[in-house]
């Protein structure tokens, strides 16, 4: 399950640092969060979709590593991003 191009563009525009930014950690975490939410809804309906569940777990792990990187490099940006996305932090 993926998100539409329009939804992805909207997320990129909201979380980018400058005009040409599409790959900063903030943008990557925001896109992964959007995809994780859509997959979670899909799995609530289709409980036995194991390949989808595996993809979801990989995305959650990737987002966790990106958030750990952001926490190390710039704690203020990490705090603001987790607040905006309503993510729990350790």
Report residue 89 as tokens: 């932090």
pLDDT for position 2:
81
Report the Cα 41 to chain-centroid distance in Å.
15
Q: What are the boundaries of each domain within the chain?
A: 5-13+22-85
pLDDT at 90 over 90: no
Q: What is the pLDDT of residues 1-55, one digit of tens each?
A: 689 999 999 999 999 999 999 899 999 999 999 999 999 999 999 999 999 999 9
CATH 1.20.120.1690 describes domain 5-13+22-85: no
Sign of the C-alpha dihedral, residues 53, 59, 63, 64? positive
């Amino acid at each position: 399950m993926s998100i539409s191009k329009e939804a992805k563009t909207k997320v990129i525009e909201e979380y980018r640092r400058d005009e040409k930014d599409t790959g900063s950690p903030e943008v990557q975490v925001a896109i992964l969060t959007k995809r994780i939410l859509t997959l979670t809804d899909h799995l609530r309906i289709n409980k036995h979709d194991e390949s989808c569940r595996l993809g979801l777990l990989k995305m959650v792990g990737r987002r966790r590593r990106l958030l750990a990187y952001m926490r190390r490099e710039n704690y203020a940006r990490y705090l603001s991003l987790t607040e905006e996305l309503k993510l729990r932090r350790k």
